């Protein structure tokens, strides 16, 4: 579990600070929030992977890590929700969010609600599996909207590394595809 956090933090520092040292003043919130969000997405993917493999204890540990990272990510994101940090989210006057900026926060809020719902211990397995796949889809939409706003910047300033949102989205979509396949297989097995 610590590996997910460490890799996310190191990646964020290399991509956003190593080749652009002026960004170092933004490490505490703006940069580390990128690491927290990616680690949260990867922890969720790991939790569902372990759940699908019948490893309930490991799944629970990774899901608890996901919860901690979500609780960190939300206030950190709201702290930097300003045109100075995210001009592409806002209208030109900076007073209102653009449609895609609103989509980022709509899907983020929906993901938060689904995460809370999944944290409730009394869910039956079938519902938990469906909610897990729905959560992957909603977080994927949240990250995709973020990516649509932010764009793909692979250049010297970013150590020629892909953006963290893109890596998160790839992991989430792979997990989503596997989760949907698992649900369809279970549905087919139930009909036989």
Distances from the Cα of 46 to the Cα of 51, 65, 97, angstroms? 8, 10, 33
Cβ atoms of residues 127 and 175 within 8 Å: no
Give domain limits for the chain.
2-191
Place of tokens 């698992």: 182
What is the distance between the alpha carbons of residues 119 and 131, in angstroms, rounded to a whole number?
A: 11
Q: What is the mean pLDDT of the chain?
A: 94
pLDDT band at 188 (very low <50, low <70, confident <90, very high): confident
Phi-psi region of 72 (alpha: psi -120 to 50; beta: other; left: phi over 0): alpha
> By percentage, how much of the chain surpasses pLDDT 90?
84
Per-residue pLDDT tens over the stretch 87-118 = 999 999 999 999 999 999 999 999 999 999 99
The residue that leads in pLDDT, 169 or 187, is 169
pTM of the model: 0.92
Per-residue pLDDT tens over the stretch 23-60 = 999 999 999 999 999 999 999 999 999 999 999 999 99
Residue 60 has a pLDDT of 94
Residue 116 has a pLDDT of 95
What is the distance between the alpha carbons of residues 1 and 14, in angstroms, rounded to a whole number?
A: 20
- Strand partners of residue 152: none
> How many CA atoms does the CB half-sphere of 160 hold within 13 Å?
1
Per-residue pLDDT tens over the stretch 135-181 = 999 999 999 999 999 989 888 888 889 999 999 999 999 999 999 99
Q: What are phi and psi of 151, to 5 degrees?
A: 85, 180
> How many CA atoms does the CB half-sphere of 27 hold within 13 Å?
13
């Amino acid at each position: 579990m610590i590996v997910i956090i460490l890799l996310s933090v190191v990646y964020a520092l290399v991509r956003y600070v190593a080749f652009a040292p002026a960004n170092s003043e933004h490490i505490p919130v703006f940069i580390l929030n990128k690491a927290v969000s990616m680690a949260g997405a990867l922890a969720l993917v790991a939790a569902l992977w372990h759940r699908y493999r019948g490893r309930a204890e490991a799944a629970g540990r990774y899901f608890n890590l996901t919860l901690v990272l979500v609780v960190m990510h939300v206030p950190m994101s709201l702290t930097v929700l300003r045109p100075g940090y995210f001009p592409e989210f806002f209208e030109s006057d900076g007073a209102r969010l653009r449609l895609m900026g609103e989509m980022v926060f709509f899907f983020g809020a929906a993901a938060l609600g689904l995460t809370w719902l999944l944290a409730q211990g009394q869910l039956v397995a079938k519902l938990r599996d469906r909610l897990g796949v729905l959560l992957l889809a909603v977080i994927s939409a949240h990250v995709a909207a973020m990516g649509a706003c932010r764009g793909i910047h692979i250049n010297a300033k970013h150590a020629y590394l892909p953006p963290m949102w893109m890596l998160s989205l790839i992991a989430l979509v792979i997990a989503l595809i596997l989760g949907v396949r698992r649900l369809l297989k279970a549905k087919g097995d139930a009909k036989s």
